[in-house]
């Protein structure tokens, strides 16, 4: 008999929030991970079944996921876990979801669209904070201006990090920035552009970052030019430019191993109290070739709390057969109003035009 949902990486920081949210919503997922002691303890505490397996052996992964209707992968960094998991899902006819925000991972999953359609499998990555609210905002902006050829998204308020998120950031230290130009991914230097953007509390400096929406927003909207930004203290853009020469060193195996080891020791993720006091703000703008612009803002609860809610609800809908097969983004699967279904998420149109920073993009 096929079970409904397997949550892999369930005892990690975000995975634990997802598992607890699922139980609170009346679901009974099977919890899984590679460390027996951790997943056994968690499953006992929550009154759930569990599985123990790593992703090193494809046949083992296939045997495990083949018993389920869908898998929700919460084990980061997804550069290491996504491919073995969604590949097994495609071979077993199991729907796949995850909470990644990594461009390379998203692009690789999108390339399996035809395979997924032929296997009648849903591939729905990025059902966490990155990128559910930003993707829904992108979809909304596109519906308001279907002539748009440029899309900009920006985030303010990423002040808390889990160990998995921190490790993904460490991996990104050795990578260049990225934008979408004329439908193609383009590599750009870190802090390639700066802008001053108003998220509702006055203008703040922001720099281009390789956010997952460089991938998902393009598939959601079809807009060929996409840039993503994050707010930073005023001194950071110059520091980022001056440290570009260190990228190869930061990407070396010994340095990466040392930094990730430090994260295991030092980073535990925000407490419930810290999450309760945390909020994120999103700004988005579309522009067409005639110079017409339309902007909107969103406010959301803490990124991890929202991730748990959106991931569980996405998985529930996939299990119940509400999502088409093939590669999907959150907005293409559920519509641009999906993010607004969650408590604490608000959206407003913006009339003023954003201020572009003085820096000139580097070729």
Taking the domain 132-303+342-356, which CATH number applies? Answer: 3.30.360.10
Residue 165: predicted pLDDT: 54
Closest listed residue to residue 135, CA positions, set 261, 2, 310: 310
Residue 190: predicted pLDDT: 80
Decide the pairing of beta strands 184-188 and 177-181.
antiparallel
CA angle, residues 223, 123, 286, in degrees to nearest 5 = 15
- Taking the C-alpha atoms of residue 185 and residue 198, their distance in angstroms, rounded to an integer, is 27
Q: Which residues of 117-147 are buried (b: 16+ CB within 10 A; e: fewer)?
A: eebebbbbbbbbbbbbbbbbbbbbbbeebee
Q: Does residue 298 sit in helix, strand or coil?
A: strand
- Taking the C-alpha atoms of residue 196 and residue 203, their distance in angstroms, rounded to an integer, is 5
Residue 243: predicted pLDDT: 52
Say how many CA atoms lie within 13 Å of 79 toward its Cβ.
13
Map out the domains of the chain as residue ranges.
3-129+305-334, 132-303+342-356
Taking the domain 3-129+305-334, which CATH number applies? Answer: 3.40.50.720
| Distances, alpha carbon 266 to alpha carbons 39, 166, 167, in Å | 22, 11, 12
Q: What is the DSSP string of 26-84?
A: T--PEEEES-HHHHHHHHHHHT--EEE--SS-HHHHHHHHTTEEEEEE--S-HHHHHHH
- Taking the C-alpha atoms of residue 164 and residue 99, their distance in angstroms, rounded to an integer, is 11
- Asked if 85 and 54 count as a contact pair (C-beta separation under 8 A), the reply is no
Closest listed residue to residue 216, CA positions, set 325, 137, 299: 137
| Distances, alpha carbon 287 to alpha carbons 212, 228, 240, 290, 349, in Å | 20, 14, 28, 8, 14
- Asked if 212 and 77 count as a contact pair (C-beta separation under 8 A), the reply is no
Residue 250: predicted pLDDT: 46
Residue 1: predicted pLDDT: 33
CB atoms within 10 A of CB 65: 26
pTM listed for this prediction = 0.87
Question: Could you list the pLDDT tens digit for every one of the 363 residues in the chain?
Answer: 357 999 999 999 999 999 999 999 999 999 999 999 999 999 999 999 999 999 999 999 999 999 999 999 999 989 999 999 999 999 999 999 999 999 999 999 999 999 999 999 999 999 999 899 999 999 999 999 999 999 999 999 765 555 555 444 444 444 578 999 999 999 998 888 989 999 998 999 888 989 999 999 999 999 999 999 988 765 445 555 545 555 554 455 664 466 456 556 555 567 888 888 889 999 999 999 999 999 999 999 999 999 999 999 999 999 999 999 999 999 999 999 999 999 999 999 997 554 444 333 444
- Taking the C-alpha atoms of residue 239 and residue 248, their distance in angstroms, rounded to an integer, is 16
Residue 358: predicted pLDDT: 35
Residue 266: predicted pLDDT: 52
- Asked if 363 and 313 count as a contact pair (C-beta separation under 8 A), the reply is no
């Amino acid at each position: 008999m096929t079970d409904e949902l397997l949550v892999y990486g369930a005892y990690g920081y975000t995975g634990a929030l997802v598992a607890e949210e699922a139980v609170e919503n009346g679901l009974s997922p099977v919890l899984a991970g590679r460390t027996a002691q951790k997943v056994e303890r968690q499953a006992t505490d929550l009154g759930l079944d569990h599985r123990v397996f790593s992703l090193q052996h494809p046949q083992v992964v296939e045997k495990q996921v083949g018993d389920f209707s869908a898998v929700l992968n919460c084990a980061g960094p997804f550069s290491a876990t996504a491919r073995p998991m969604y590949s097994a899902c495609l071979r077993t006819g199991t729907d796949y979801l995850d909470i990644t925000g990594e461009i390379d991972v998203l692009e690789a999953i999108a390339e399996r669209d035809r395979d997924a359609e032929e296997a009648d499998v849903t591939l729905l990555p990025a059902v966490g904070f990155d990128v559910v609210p930003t993707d829904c905002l992108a979809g909304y902006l596109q519906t308001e201006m279907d002539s748009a050829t440029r899309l900009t998204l920006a985030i303010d308020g990423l002040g808390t990090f889990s160990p998995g998120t921190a490790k993904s950031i460490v991996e990104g230290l050795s990578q260049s920035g990225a934008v979408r130009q004329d439908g193609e991914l383009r590599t750009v230097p870190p802090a390639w552009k700066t802008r001053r953007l108003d998220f509702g509390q006055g203008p703040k400096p922001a720099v281009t970052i390789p956010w997952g929406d460089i991938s998902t927003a393009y598939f959601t909207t079809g807009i060929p030019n996409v840039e993503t930004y994050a707010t930073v203290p005023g001194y950071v853009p110059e520091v980022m430019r001056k440290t570009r020469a260190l990228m190869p060193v930061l990407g070396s195996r010994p340095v990466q191993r040392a930094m990730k080891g430090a994260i295991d020791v030092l980073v535990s993720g925000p407490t419930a109290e810290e999450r309760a006091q945390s909020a994120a703000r999103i700004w988005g703008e579309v522009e067409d070739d005639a110079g017409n612009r339309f902007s909107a803002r969103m406010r959301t609860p803490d990124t991890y709390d929202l991730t748990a809610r959106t991931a569980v609800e996405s998985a529930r809908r996939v299990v119940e057969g509400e999502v088409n097969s093939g590669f999907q983004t959150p907005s293409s699967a559920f519509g641009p109003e999906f993010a607004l279904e969650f408590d604490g998420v608000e959206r407003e149109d913006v009339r003023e035009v954003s201020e572009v920073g003085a820096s000139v993009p580097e070729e």
